[in-house]
Structure 1
Amino acid sequence: MTPSSLAAERIYFSYGAIERTISVASLEAYAKEGKIDDDLATYAEYVSPQRLIQLQRVLQARIQLSPVAVSQFLYTPVGETLLERLGEVIQTEARQPGFYALRAALILAATEPDGLSLLSVLEKFPTQSVRINLGRSLEIMERLEILIAQTRQAIALISNESAAATTRSQVNFSQLPDLRLPGRFSWNKQTLKLYDRRRNRTFFADIYIPLQKRAGGSEGAEVAEGAEEKIQSKIQNPKSKIQNPLSPGYPVIVISHGLGSDRTSFTYLAEQLASYGFAVAVPEHPGSNAKQLQSLLSGRANQVAEPNEFINRPLDVKYLLDELQRLDAYNPSFQLNFQQVGVIGQSFGGYTALALAGARLNFKQLQTNCDEPNDIWNVSLLLQCRALDLPETNYNLQDPRVKAAIAINPIDSSIFGQAGLERIQVPVMIVGGSTDTVAPVLSEQILPFSWLHSAQKYLVVIERASHFSIIGETNPNQQAFVLPPQAIGPNPAIARRYMSALGVAFFQTYIAGNTQYRYYLSSAYVQAINQAPLNISLVQSLPITQLTQPALQRYRKSQESGLIRKQDLRKLGEK
C-alpha cells in the first residue's frame, strides 16, 4: 500500500498522564513478515505469544466491501451510533473524537483492491497520528471480560441443571420416533402476493399445505394420526391422558425471518413442520429483508431498517393470517385451523414472535438502556434503540390466535424489558447460542427467559452456536453479502437438526394438542440427540440469584490473559 499525503504514521496510546507511541510501519512489518522491531518490542514483552499471533491475524484480515456499501451503512443512524462509540476510543491528532475521521478512513480503505483491513484504515486516517484512549479501551475490554465470565457461569449453571434433570428421566428415546427426520406428510407449496391497503404495504408469503401421507419418513408422523399409544407404552406412563387435536384442519405455524434474511432462510424448517401435518406460512418482511439490505449497500436506501418495522412486522403476520382465513373460507384445499396458531422467529423475527405472543413495547426501559448503554458489547441494542423514534403510544401487537411461540436468538432485553415480557401468558421457547456476538445469549435470551411468567416456558442453549447457526442455507446470489464460515460457526447442520426436532415437539404439544410429545421437551431428550461440538441444554426454570450475582471477583482472580493491564501501563510510563 502506498501511504497517502494525509495518513497516520504513528499511533499514540494515552492513559492519564502516560503516553506511549508506536509507528504504523512497525505494525505493517509485523503483519507481513512477523518481524518485531524495537518499536514493537517495547509492548511485546507485556503480551503473551498467543495474543501476538492474534494481533498478526487481525492486522492481516481483509474484508471485501464496496466503498458505496461502507458509506451507506456508516451514514445510517445505526452506523453513526457505532462510530460514536468507536470515536470515544479512537481519536484524532488533536484529541478529538474520531467520528468523522474514522468514517472517512473506512470509506477510503474500502477502495483498496485487496479489501478493507485495519492497516488500510490507518493509512487512510486523515491525520498524521491516531490517538487511542487506552483508559476507555480498558474499561470496554474489562466489560467484555466480565460479560464473558458471567456468560460462562450462566451456561455452566444451565448445563448442570439440564444434566441433573436428565439423570431423573427413565425414558429410552432410542426406542421412540426420531423427530429430526421428516414426517410422513407431503405438501404443496404456493406463493401469495399480499397487499395491505391500510398500510400501503405489499409483501410475499410462501404457504406449505400438507397433503396425504407419503411412504417412508419418520415414525413421528404416525403420532399425529393416532399411534399415541405406541409412545405411551414405550414411555411406561399409562396414567398420562392422551389429548386429541383441538379441532379439525391443519394447525398453522408462521415463521418470521430476521433482519437481512428472507422467506427462504428457513425453508428446511417449514418443510420439516409441514411433513408433520402443520400448515406453514412464511412471510417476507419488505422493510427488513435481504432486499432492503441490498438496497442500503447499493445506495438505494438510507436505513438498515426503518423504526416502524417494529410495528409492521407483527402487523404483516396479522394481515397474513387474516388473508389465509379469507382464502380458507372458499378454498377446499386449505382446511386450516386458526384456533391454534404458532409462531417462530429468529433475531428480529424472534422479537416479532414475542410481540405476537403478548410482549409489550417498553419505552421507559428502552430509553434508559439507550441513554446509558452499559451493555456496550450488545450489538442488538443498535437496532433496538431505533424504536425510540416511534411515536410513544400503547401498541398492542398481540394476536389472540397465537397460542405458542418460539424465539430464536431474539432481540428483546430493552425493547420489551422485564415488564414487557411478563405480559406473555402462552407457552414460549427461547433458543440461544453461546457465541452469539449480535444478540448475546446472557443479555438477550438467558435473563429475558427468567423474566417470563408463562407456566410453560423452555430455554435452550446451544454451545458454540452463533447468531447465524440455525439459519438455513440460501442462494448466495440472493443475499446482500455472504457470511464467512467464522461468523456462522462450526457445524450449523447440527443446530438446524436440533431446531427441526424441538420445533416439531413444541408445536405438536402446544398447537396440535398432542400432549404426548411433551416428553420430547426435556433435558433427557436433548441429551439423547446431543452432538459435539454443539452441545445442547434445556431447562424450564433458572435460579435468578445465581444468574445476576457478579462474576467480577472470580474473573479477576483467575485472569491470566495477555492483555496490557493497568500495572503494565505504569511500568511502560517509567521507561
Structure 2
Amino acid sequence: MFKRVAKLGLLVSSAFWLSISCQTKPARSAERIFASFLSFEQSVSVKSLETFAETGRITGDFIPYARYISPEQRPFLQNALQQKLAISPVALSQFLYSDIGELMVQRVARVIRPKSNHGGFYALRGALIVAAADPEGLTVLNFLKHYPIQGLKIDLSEGLAVFSQIRGLIRQTNTLIQVLENQSPASPIASSTGSALTQQGQYSWQKTTLTLSDQSATRQGLTGQSRQFPVDIYLPQTAAPKPIVVISHGLNSNRNSYAYLAEHLASHGFVVVMPEHIGSNTNQLQALMLGRVKDVTQPIEFLDRPLDVRFILDELERLATADPMFQGQLNLEQVGVIGQSFGGYTALAVAGATINFGQLQQDCGSRLKDTINISLILQCQALKLPQQRYKLADPRVKGVIAINPVDSSVLGETLSQIQTPVMLVSGSADKVSPSLLEQATPFTWLTTTDKYFVLMQGGTHFSTIAVDPSSESEAQPESQKLSGPSPDAAKSYLSVLSLAFMKQHIAEEMEYQSYLSPEFVATLRQGKLKLNLTQTLSTHEILNPR
C-alpha cells in the first residue's frame, strides 16, 4: 500500500482517539465538541483543544477530561491534534471518491456522524477535502472546524467497539510474540560463515532495463487485453547458468522499492528481475490523484500481476536462446519469487494458491463494514472479477517469500495448495495487513513441508521498503516514521533471510538450511527491532493462551 493513504488513516484515527463529537455554528465552524455515550453527553470547547494543541496547557472545560489522559499520553494527543497531512484537496478528493476511499470513509462515518444521523458520509468526506484546501492544512482540529452540518457527534459506543477490536488484536499479537519468544533459543549459536550473508557477494552485476509486451493468448483469454511493462534485470557476471529471482513490488509502489535486495542477491549469483506492475504502481496512484483514473487499482490486477511473472519467465526462456547477453546465463529450472503486500499475494498466487471467491463472499459482506483490517478493503475488490477458477500458478516457481502479504480472504485456505517452500515475513506493528490476520493465521493453513514464519517485532508494513529519495512524500520525516524502528535493520534481516532461503531452496545449496533456524536468526537481532523465526505455529496457542 502507499504511505499517504496510511497517513490519512492515522490522522482520521486521531479523531477516533479523542472519542468526541462536535457542534458547529451557523458559519460552519466548530465551537464545542460533545462526548456521547448512550444517553450521556459531555462537552469541551474547540478553543480549549486549540490551546492544548498549541501550548500543551489544559484549560477551561478540558480540565475534567485531563484525569483520563496520562502524562505519557498527553504528548501523543497534542501531536495528533497538530498532525498535518500534506496533500492537495484535488488529490485527496480523487482518493476519497475511489471505491477504496469510500469504504474507508464509511467506516469512519459510523463513529463520526451528525446528530440527525443524516448525511454523515458526505459531510465527513466534504470536511476532509475542504480542510485540505485550507491554508492551515488538513489536521484533526481543522477538519472539525470545517464539518458542514449543525451538530456532529462521535458515537462513543461505536468508537469503543472499534477500540475493543484493536485492543483484542494487540493482545493476540502480543501472545504471538510471546509464543515465538518461548521458541527462541536461550543461547544463540554464532556462525562466522553466516556473517557472509550480510555482506555483498563476490560477483559484479550488470543492470539492464527491458520493456516487455505481452500479447499472448493466455493474457488475452483471462483479461481480454495485452500488457506492456518495464523490467529491470540484474545479471551477475559469471559464465554458468544462474538461478532466477523475480521481485514483485507492493500496491502503489515501484520496482525501485527493493533495488537494495536485488543488488544483494545479484552479488551472490542470482539473476534478479524487477517488474513494474503498471496497473498498481506509483504512476497509478499519481493518475488517481490527477483524476485520470477512478480507483487505486482495478480488480483485474489480481490476474495481471501473476500473469506478469509468468510472462517474464516465458520471455527469459526466449532470451536464453535468442539474445547473446542471456545465452548460457539463465537457469529456468531454479526460479524463486519474492513479493511485498500486493506483491506477496502475487508470489503466493504463482506458487499455487487460487482466488477464493467463497471466502471473499463471506468476508466482504456485512463483515467488511466492521473490519479493522485495511487490506481486506483491497482484497474484496477481487469479487468484481468473473467468478471462475483462475489458473495463475507457474510450475517453474520452486519457492516464494511473501512479505506483509494480503492473502487471508482473497486466497484464504487455498494456501494449502502450495507445494513449494514458503516464507512469510511479518511485522507486529503492521496496521495495513495485520500480522495475526494476514500472516500468522494464513501460515497455519500452509501444508508444504518447508515453511517459515518470520516476525519483526515492531516492524510495520513499510519497514523493508527502501525510501525513494526522488519522492517528496517519502522524504517527509513524518512519512518515514511509518517505517517503524530500525528500518535499516529490517532491510538487513530481509537481505540475509532472502539469500539463505534462495540458496537453500532455489539454488539447492543444502548447507544453508542452518541459517533458516531460530538459532541463527537470534544472532541477527540488532537494535530495537527483534527478529523471530519458526516453522511451527498454532492458532490455538495464540487465540487461547494459558
TM > 0.5 fold call: yes
Give the letter for the 2:258 counterpart: F
Q: Which of 131, 148, 154 is matched with 1:132 structurally?
A: 154
Deviation at 1:466, TM superposition (A): 1.1
Q: Contact between 1:260 and 1:292, CA under 8 Å: does it hold in 2?
A: yes
How much does 1:87 deviate? 0.7
2:7: which partner in 1? Answer: none
Q: Calculate the aligned-residue CA RMSD, in Å.
A: 2.0
2:47 is the counterpart of 1:25: yes
SS of the residue 1:432 aligns to:
strand
The superposition leaves residues 524-550 of structure 1 with CA deviations (integer Å, 9 ceiling, x where unpaired) of 11111211211111100113310222x
Residue 209 of structure 1 aligns to a residue in which SS? strand
Q: How far 1:360 moved relative to its partner?
A: 1.2
> Is contact 2:98-2:295 (8 Å) kept?
yes
Q: Is the 8 A contact 2:428 2:457 kept in 1?
A: yes
Question: Could you tell me which of 449, 460, 464 is aligned with 1:455?
Answer: 449
Residue in 2 aligned with 1:364? 358
User: Which residue in 2 is equivalent to 1:404?
Assistant: 399
Letter in 2 for 1:138: L
Matched, 1:504 2:499: yes
Q: Which moved more, 1:440-449 or 1:296-305?
A: 296-305
> 1:143-194 deviations in whole A, cap 9, x for unaligned?
1111111101111111221336xx5x7x541255520101111111111101
Verify: 1:437 aligned to 2:463, yes or no: no
Residue 297 (structure 1) shift = 1.6
Write the distance in 1 (CA, Å) between the matches of 2:214 and 2:190: 50
Equivalent of 2:229 in 193, 200, 203: 203
Distance 1:64 1:374, change over 3 A: closer
Residues 351-384 of structure 1 show CA distances to partners (whole Å, capped at 9, x for unaligned) of 1000011111111111211221387221111111
Counterpart-to-counterpart distance in 2, 1:96 and 1:378? 26
Q: What residue in structure 2 maps to residue 219 of structure 1?
A: none
Q: Are 1:274 and 2:266 matched, yes or no?
A: yes
What's the counterpart of residue 537 of structure 2? 542
- Structure 1 residue 124: Cα displacement: 0.6
User: Is 1:257 the equivalent of 2:249?
Assistant: yes
- Structure 2 spans left out of the alignment, 5+ residues: 1-23
* Residue pair 2:463, 2:484 contacting (<8 A) in 1 also: yes
Query: Deviation of residue 312 (structure 1)?
Result: 0.5
Name the amino acid aligned to 1:143: Q
Against the structure 1 CA distance between its residues 175 and 348, is the aligned structure 2 distance closer, same or farther, given a 3 Å change threshold? closer
How far 1:16 moved relative to its partner?
1.6
Which amino acid counterpart does residue 182 of structure 1 have in structure 2? Q
SS for the counterpart of 2:93 is helix
1:34 alignment partner AA: G
Aligned to 1:326: 318
> CA separation in 1, counterparts of 2:315 and 2:26?
59
- When residues 380 and 156 of structure 1 are mapped into structure 2, their CA distance, relative to the original with a 3 A threshold, is same
Cα deviation for residue 446 of structure 1 reads 0.9
Residue 42 of structure 1: how far off its partner (Å):
2.5
Alignment of 1:33-72 (within 5 A): 33-72=55-94
Q: Is the 8 A contact 1:64 1:116 kept in 2?
A: yes
TM-score, normalising length: structure 1 = 0.85
The alignment-based identity, stated in percent, is 46
Counterpart Cα distance in 1 of 2:193 and 2:370: 46
Give the TM-score taking structure 2 as reference length.
Answer: 0.90
* Moved >3 Å (runs of 4+): 477-483
Q: Which residue of 1 aligns with 2:179?
A: 157
Residues 256, 343 of structure 1: 8 Å contact kept: yes
Change (3 A) 1:408 1:145: same
Distance in 2, matches of 1:12 and 1:303, equals: 35
> Counterpart of 2:259 in structure 1: which amino acid?
T
Cα distance between partner residues in 2 of 1:92 and 1:453: 50
- SS of aligned partner of 1:484: helix
SS of the aligned residue for 2:198 comes to coil
What residue number does 2:482 align with?
487
Judge conservation of contact 1:14–1:133 (CA < 8 Å) in 2: yes
Q: Is 29-38 or 331-340 further displaced after alignment? A: 29-38
Q: Does 1:121 pair with 2:137?
A: no
Q: Among 205, 220, 227, which residue is 1:187 paired with?
A: 205
Quote the Cα distance in structure 1 between the aligned partners of 2:370 and 2:179. 22
Q: Which residue of 2 aligns with 1:427?
A: 421
2:343 matches 1:349: yes
Q: CA deviation at 1:46?
A: 3.0
Asked if 1:475 corresponds to 2:443, the answer is: no
Question: Counterparts of 2:444 and 2:185 in 1: how far apart (Å)?
Answer: 19
- Which residue identity does 1:282 align to in structure 2? M
What residue is the counterpart of 1:87 in the other structure?
A: 109
1:481 and 1:110 mapped to 2: Cα distance?
Answer: 20
Q: Secondary structure at the match of 1:265?
A: coil
Partner of 2:8: none
DSSP 3-state at the match of 1:392? coil
Structure with the bigger RCO (C-alpha within 8 Å, sep 6+) is 1
CA distance in structure 2 between the partners assigned to 1:155 and 1:96 by the alignment: 43
Taking a change above 3 Å as real, the CA distance of residues 59 and 3 of structure 1, as seen in their structure-2 partners, is: farther
Aligned equivalents of 1:134, 1:467: Cα separation in 2: 29
Superposed CA deviations along residues 11-58 of structure 1, whole A, max 9, x for unmatched, are 222222212222222211221233323321222233323333322221
SS in structure 2 of the partner of residue 512 of structure 1: coil
Contact 1:345 1:351 in 2 (8 A): yes
- 1:207-356 paired onto structure 2 within 5 Å: 207-212=233-238, 249-334=241-326, 335-356=329-350
Once the two structures are TM-superposed, the CA of residue 490 in structure 1 deviates from its matched residue by 2.1
Unpaired runs of 5+ in structure 1? 214-247, 555-575
Counterparts of 1:167-186 in structure 2 under 5 Å? 167=187, 172-186=190-204
Other-structure match for 1:112: 134
Judged with a 3 Å threshold, the aligned counterparts in structure 2 of structure 1 residues 172 and 34 are, in CA distance, closer, same or farther, namely closer
Structure of greater Rg: 1
CA spacing shift, 1:536–1:8, aligned 2, 3 Å = same
Q: Distance in 2 between matches of 1:205 and 1:403?
A: 21
Given that 1:186 and 1:211 are in contact with CA atoms closer than 8 Å, whether structure 2 keeps it comes out as: yes
Count of residue pairs brought into register by the alignment: 511
SS of the residue aligned with 2:418? coil
Q: Give the secondary structure class of the aligned counterpart of 1:179.
A: helix
Residues 468 and 475 in structure 2, CA contact (< 8 A), matched pair in contact too? no
Q: Counterpart in 1 of 2:389?
A: 394
| Secondary structure of 2:237's aligned partner | strand
